[in-house]
Structure formats: C-alpha cells, structure tokens
Amino acid sequence: MINPGTPMMSKDIAAQMAGGLTLQPGGLVLGLPDMTIRVRSNSTALLEKLRAYFKHIVIEDGDATVEIQAFECAPPDLALDYVDWPREVGKMGRKDALIDLSDGRIVKKVRTGMMFLQSVDHRIAAGPCLENDNQVINFINAQYMNMLQQNGWAICHAAGLVRNGLALGLAGFSGGGKSTLMLHMLNEDGTAFLSNDRLFARRTDKGVFAAGIPKLPRINPGTALNNPCLGSIVTPERRDELASLPASELWDIEEKYDVDIDQIYGPDRIVARAPLCGFLVLNWSHTADALTQINEVNLGQRRDLLAAVMKSSGPFYQLADGSMYAKSSVLDEESYLSTFQGVPFYEVTGRVDFDQIARHCLNRFFDKGAQT
C-alpha cells in the first residue's frame, strides 16, 4: 500500500500489479514499422490467444523497443481514488477511470476491472486478461500509437483501405458505417486492409502518408448481415434472430464481432502504410430519402467535417517527454488542416448505399497519381 501523501511512482504500482506472479519466459514478439513489441505474461493461454490475433506481425525474436507485461489474475485492488476520463460526445456511461503518477498513469476499466499501468519504464496490464483480451490488444496497440504520434503522425477516427499502392481514408459521424464501407471494398480483389478505426496521417517531403494499426475490424450485426463475405462470423441461429429485427434496431445493437482478414479475404491483404490519395467523410443517414451523392469539398471551408476525422489521443497517450495526455487537451484543427493540405476530401450525403459508394471509390480514387 502506498502511504498517503507520498508521490506515487510507477515502480511501486508495478510491484503491486504483478502481485508476485511469475512471467513465462520469452513471450510474444511483434514486428511493426519502426517498432518491436515484446509481450510477456504468466498465462500461456493468453499468449497463444494474442499470437493468433497478431499472426500477421509475429516474428521469431528481436530486440524489443518496448515490453508489455500482462498478468492474468483477479482485478487488482489498489485502493486508490480514481478520476473518470470523459467520454466522447454521444457516448454514455463510465468507461475509463485513472490516477496520474509522478511518472505515468494508471487506467482502470470500470466495467471489467482491468488495470493498466502506462509509464516510460513500465507497461502492465493486470486482471481477467483472457476474458477481456480485446482490452489487452488495445493496450498493445496503444504503444504503437504512442510511437506514431510522438513522431508526428496525426491520429484520425477513420478506417483505411489500400489499392494500387494508394490509401483512402474513410471517416464518418457516429454510426456512419466507415467499417462497413471499407469491408465492402475489401470484397474486391486487389484491395488491402489498412485500418479499421484509427488511421494516422503524416506529411513528408514525398507527400502525405497514411498508417494503420494491427487492430482487426470489429463490426456490428448490421455489417455482418449485409456483407455475404462475412456470413460465417455470425452463427446461423443468431443470424436468423438478427434478420428479424427492424433495420433501425439492427444497427444500434451493442454486439461486436472480430473480422479475421486472413481467414475471410486471404493472405497478404493487410498493409501497414501507403501514400494517401484521398479522404471520404460519410455524412449520410439510414433515414434519408435523398439520393446518395458524393462531392469534393474544401476542408478549410467545411471545418464541420473535421469533427468526424479528428480524434483524441486518449488516456494511454504518453508524450515523448514522459508526460501524459491531459483530458482537457483541445484538438488542433489547424494542425489537421496543415497535414491534409492538398489531399482531396469528399463528403457523402443522402441515403446509405454502400454498394454505390464502394463502386464509385474503387473506380475513381485509386488510379490517380501517387504522392510519391
């Protein structure tokens, strides 16, 4: 227990979270552009689960840029007073609570009891990891996202697709269907998955590039039912139950399924980075009567669309100087506009029609000159 009034250090919290548990030797090594992550755990079952999930980036061994320790155990009770991290607009309920340390941050997942320690020297997950492996996966990805942002990549709330060596970003307002549209286009040979919900963009002397993270698409039942390639994700019994629901209810169900890209679409369909040829903002509606339209827009004159693209770095973001991202941080519109200068932006309005927009994107956007 930490004495009241004593500045809390990550090393003290790390010892409490480890709880005397013994890590398995070796662990899992993930190879990413500019970064190598080693994951260690006391649970062989968890490591195997993570190995299956990250199979496209697992490497035999290597010098790790960072090490993550994941302890399978009961939710730790650190007896600390946490502060809630504010949810995004439109999101309800408590999700993350945290307490800042002198050299890092503890994040508690309110619903599951999972605990995470983020500091320069310690990156630890503790709690029922096997039951909440998606949260461990997100924590692993957070380390890669930290590296990208520390090196000048702008974080975007967007999906990404690659074709002919070029990337297209897909953003949308809440429930806009960016993942559904991306997966529709993946049905086409010659396309590759870049990212599902976190896309990063950076301007270089060779143009603007997009980067994805190794996070598989997590889709809702509406996406699964409306894409023939995804039929096997939902059991036949559950599919019949979902098919009987009104469309308005189907798209609002809080039920998620992972899409294994290799299994569904075949090998070599995941790309880490590519030049950005354009960005699509889905501003359509399931209840609209107007025809689906796509129009190029001037992002500087349509800053309202930036709200669908910009993304908070979140409670796990640790800056290069070791300080933690503050919940009061304001997103910098000018920085995003500078990054995207010269990148074509398109707004999609009217009623939702994934087939029409997918065909339009595949036929028009990926044959333009690369920014290399």
> Could you report the per-residue pLDDT of 247-261, keeping only the tens digit for each?
767 767 778 889 999
Residue 30 and residue 68 in contact, taking contact as beta carbons nearer than 8 Å? no
The predicted-structure confidence for 52-69, as pLDDT tens digits, reads as follows 999 999 998 878 999 999
For residue 198, the SS3 value is coil
- What are phi and psi for residue 15, nearest 5 degrees? -65, -40
In angstroms, the CA 13 to CA 277 distance is 45
Lowest mean pLDDT among 4-18, 40-54, 298-312: 4-18
Q: Give the Cα separation of 217 and 103 in Å (integer).
A: 33
Element at 240 (helix H, strand E): helix 236-243
- Among 91, 54, 72, CA closest to 261: 54
The pLDDT of residue 90: 57
Q: For the residues 260-277, what does the mean pLDDT come to? A: 95
Please, what is the average pLDDT of the chain?
91
Hey, is 189 helix, strand or coil? coil
Res. 79: pLDDT tops 70: yes
More confident residue, 18 or 250: 18
pLDDT tens digits, one per residue of 188-211: 999 999 999 999 999 999 999 999
Distance CA 25, CA 324 (A): 31
- pLDDT tens digits, one per residue of 156-199: 999 999 999 999 999 998 778 898 899 999 999 999 999 999 99
CATH topology of domain 154-217+259-364: Rossmann fold (3.40.50)
| DSSP label of 285 | B
Q: Cα 84 to chain center, whole Å?
A: 21
Residue 89: pLDDT band with limits 50, 70, 90: low
* Pairing verdict, β 166-172 and 273-282: parallel
Return d(Cα 135, Cα 53) in angstroms, integer.
13
What are 297's two structure tokens? 């827009």
The CA distance from 21 to 40, in Å, is 12
Alpha-carbon gap, residue 215 to 63, rounded angstroms = 22
Is pLDDT larger for residue 358 or for residue 176? 358
Cβ count within 10 A of residue 246: 7
- Between CA 228 and CA 183 the distance in angstroms is 11
How is residue 334 written in tokens? 């000018």
pLDDT of 7 over the 80 cut? no
Residue 255: the pLDDT is 80
Q: Specify the pLDDT at position 253.
A: 77
Lowest mean pLDDT among 109-113, 172-176, 197-201, 351-355: 172-176
| Parallel, antiparallel or unpaired: strands 257-258 and 218-219 | antiparallel
Based on its alpha-carbon atoms, the radius of gyration of the chain, rounded to whole angstroms, reads: 21
Give the residues across from 97 on adjacent strands: 84, 108
323 vs 287: CA distance, rounded Å: 44
Q: Is the pLDDT of residue 139 over 50?
A: yes
Report the C-alpha gap between 47 and 195 in whole angstroms: 23
pLDDT, average across residues 9-29? 93
- Percentage of the chain with pLDDT > 70? 94
Please count the residues of the chain. 372
Domain boundaries along the sequence of the chain? 10-150, 154-217+259-364
Q: How far apart are CA 252 and CA 93, in angstroms?
A: 16
What is the predicted pLDDT for the residue at 118? Answer: 98
pLDDT band at 130 (very low <50, low <70, confident <90, very high): very high
pLDDT top residue among 331 and 224:
331
pLDDT of residue 132: 97
